């Protein structure tokens, strides 16, 4: 396993950062927050056509760039740093990864080229209105009817769920419970019987939706009813992807706080020269660097096929949740009065930090998952 980025990976980072600085300044982010779609299709097309980022970790055999999860993580970190409004996390990191993990070769050949090219947007629908991110929380059913599979139930907190062309849905066989009978299913975004409704959220830079399924036709991905192990890996990879996006936002919040502390004058001195501000910045720096290390290591482990991926995902997501929340909150505090106003960008990062913290499960959820992975607390 490599413990440093290669020259090619560093160049990828520079290219994506430059793209985000040009196409996703904070004024553009605020504009898109108020738009109906929530992102600019022309920017998304440019991201896919010129950077090829939508297919970064998709194999060349399925129309992608053929790189690994580490390169995907770099793209996520930089787009998270810029609060890029685009279906990158939902379509590429979540849906495409799920398809890669569970679908047959024929299904991959059919579904992935469109995602890699950016002509098809997709998302992963896991949680339901109760907000549980476990197999026990899945109650949406996939039943056989007239030679087809039909989905009935509700999914909630689905990123870009109102605009996705393809929805990868976690469902179970009727009468099953726990890890039994789980599977992933593909549903067209315009399928009859599917009702999509946008949710009011704290973070307007990321659209979430409620999806109601009433006898909606679906296709199984992989083997129906035997998806629990694959689903656990998909969830771990999704957590690693989100953790890498979060450390990008956390680092930007820290950079913003430090830059302000260097220029804001009080009593004839920059406030950054005061010990209390120095301590705040150092404490945030330590948490951000720790979270970055965990997120990077977990992404590299995903490429290496590490058997401890579940534990590494738990560490990465819990540390990134803590670091981003602290960095965003201290950024507001260091900015003082201006930091509490809506006009200041500090609020955008705080809202993203809070929403990302609970998405896929909060730090407490993942620490419990880590304890379960390590066997802590089990009866001998």
Average pLDDT over residues 213-236: 89
- Whether 1 is covered by a domain: the verdict is no
- Give the confidence band of 158 by pLDDT, cuts at 50, 70, 90: very high
Whether residues 103 and 153 share a domain: the answer is no
Boundary of a domain, candidates 95, 120, 145: 120
Boundary of a domain, candidates 71, 86, 120: 120
Whether residues 81 and 142 share a domain: the answer is no
pLDDT at 380 over 50: no
- Give the confidence band of 89 by pLDDT, cuts at 50, 70, 90: very high
**pLDDT for the residue 264:** 84
With beta carbons less than 8 A apart as the criterion, state whether 83 and 22 touch.
no
Global confidence as pTM:
0.95
**Burial of 154: CB neighbours in 10 Å, binned 0-12, 13-18, 19+:** middle
**Burial of 289: CB neighbours in 10 Å, binned 0-12, 13-18, 19+:** middle
Whether residues 222 and 233 share a domain: the answer is no
- Give the confidence band of 109 by pLDDT, cuts at 50, 70, 90: very high
Q: DSSP characters for 228-279? A: HHHHHHHHHHHHHHHHHHHHHHHHHHHHHHHHHHHH-EETTEEGGGSHHHHH
**pLDDT for the residue 360:** 96
Average pLDDT over residues 181-208: 96
pLDDT digits (tens, 9 = 90+) for 228-279: 888 999 999 999 999 999 999 999 999 999 999 998 878 889 888 898 999 9
pLDDT digits (tens, 9 = 90+) for 46-68: 999 999 999 999 999 999 999 99
Location of structure tokens 């936002």: 249
Distance between CA atoms of residues 53 and 75, nearest Å: 7
Boundary of a domain, candidates 120, 149, 184: 120
pLDDT at 340 over 80: no
Q: Which residue has the higher pLDDT, 339 or 356?
A: 356
- Please report, for the domain that includes residue 211, its CATH number: 2.40.110.10
**pLDDT for the residue 378:** 55
Domain count across the chain: 3
- Whether 165 is covered by a domain: the verdict is yes
- Whether 379 is covered by a domain: the verdict is no
- Give the confidence band of 83 by pLDDT, cuts at 50, 70, 90: very high
**pLDDT for the residue 147:** 82
Whether residues 252 and 176 share a domain: the answer is no
> What average pLDDT does the structure give for the chain?
94
- Please report, for the domain that includes residue 54, its CATH number: 1.10.540.10
With beta carbons less than 8 A apart as the criterion, state whether 120 and 110 touch.
no
Whether residues 49 and 128 share a domain: the answer is no
- Whether 161 is covered by a domain: the verdict is yes
Whether residues 260 and 353 share a domain: the answer is yes
With beta carbons less than 8 A apart as the criterion, state whether 367 and 318 touch.
yes
Whether residues 369 and 233 share a domain: the answer is yes
With beta carbons less than 8 A apart as the criterion, state whether 71 and 140 touch.
no
- Whether 380 is covered by a domain: the verdict is no
**pLDDT for the residue 145:** 86
Whether residues 56 and 128 share a domain: the answer is no
**pLDDT for the residue 369:** 92
Whether residues 196 and 288 share a domain: the answer is no
- Whether 244 is covered by a domain: the verdict is yes
- Please report, for the domain that includes residue 334, its CATH number: 1.20.140.10
- Whether 260 is covered by a domain: the verdict is yes
Whether residues 87 and 179 share a domain: the answer is no
Whether residues 359 and 239 share a domain: the answer is yes
- Domain of 291 in residue numbering reads as 229-374
- Give the confidence band of 338 by pLDDT, cuts at 50, 70, 90: confident
Whether residues 172 and 276 share a domain: the answer is no
**pLDDT for the residue 226:** 64
Structure-token pair, residue 32: 């898109």
- Whether 306 is covered by a domain: the verdict is yes
pLDDT at 302 over 70: yes
**pLDDT for the residue 212:** 98
């Amino acid at each position: 396993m490599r413990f440093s980025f290669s020259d090619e990976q560093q160049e990828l980072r520079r290219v994506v950062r430059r793209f985000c600085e040009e196409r996703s300044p904070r004024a553009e982010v605020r504009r898109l927050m108020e738009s109906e779609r929530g992102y600019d299709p022309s920017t998304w097309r440019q991201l896919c056509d010129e950077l090829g980022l939508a297919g970064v970790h998709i194999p060349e055999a399925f129309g992608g760039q053929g790189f690994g999860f580490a390169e995907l993580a770099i793209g996520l970190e930089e787009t998270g740093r810029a609060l890029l409004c685009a279906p990158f996390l939902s379509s590429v990191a979540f849906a495409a990864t799920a398809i890669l993990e569970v679908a047959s070769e024929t299904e991959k050949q059919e579904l992935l080229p469109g995602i890699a090219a950016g002509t098809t947007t997709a998302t992963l629908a896991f949680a339901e209105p109760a907000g549980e991110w476990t197999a026990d929380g899945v109650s949406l059913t996939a039943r056989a009817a007239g030679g087809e599979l039909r989905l009935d139930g509700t999914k909630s907190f689905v990123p870009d769920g109102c605009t996705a062309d393809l929805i990868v849905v976690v469902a179970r066989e009727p009468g099953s419970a726990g890890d039994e009978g789980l599977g992933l299913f593909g549903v067209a975004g315009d399928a009859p019987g599917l009702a999509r409704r946008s949710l009011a959220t704290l973070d307007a830079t990321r659209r979430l939706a409620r999806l109601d399924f009433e006898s909606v036709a679906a296709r199984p991905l992989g083997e129906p009813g035997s998806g629990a192990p694959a689903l656990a890996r998909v969830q771990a990879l999704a957590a690693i992807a989100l953790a890498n996006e979060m450390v990008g936002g956390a680092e930007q919040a820290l950079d913003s706080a430090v830059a302000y502390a260097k220029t804001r004058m009080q009593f004839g001195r920059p406030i950054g020269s005061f010990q209390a501000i120095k301590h705040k910045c150092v404490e945030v720096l330590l948490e951000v660097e720790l979270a970055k290390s965990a997120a990077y290591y977990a992404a590299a482990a995903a490429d290496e096929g590490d058997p401890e991926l579940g534990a590494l995902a738990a560490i990465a997501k819990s540390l990134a949740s803590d670091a981003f929340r602290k960095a965003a909150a201290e950024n507001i505090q260091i900015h003082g009065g201006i930091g509490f106003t809506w006009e200041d960008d500090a609020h955008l990062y705080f809202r993203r930090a809070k929403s990302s913290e609970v998405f896929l499960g909060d730090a407490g959820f993942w620490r419990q998952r880590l304890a379960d992975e390590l066997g802590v607390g089990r009866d001998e």
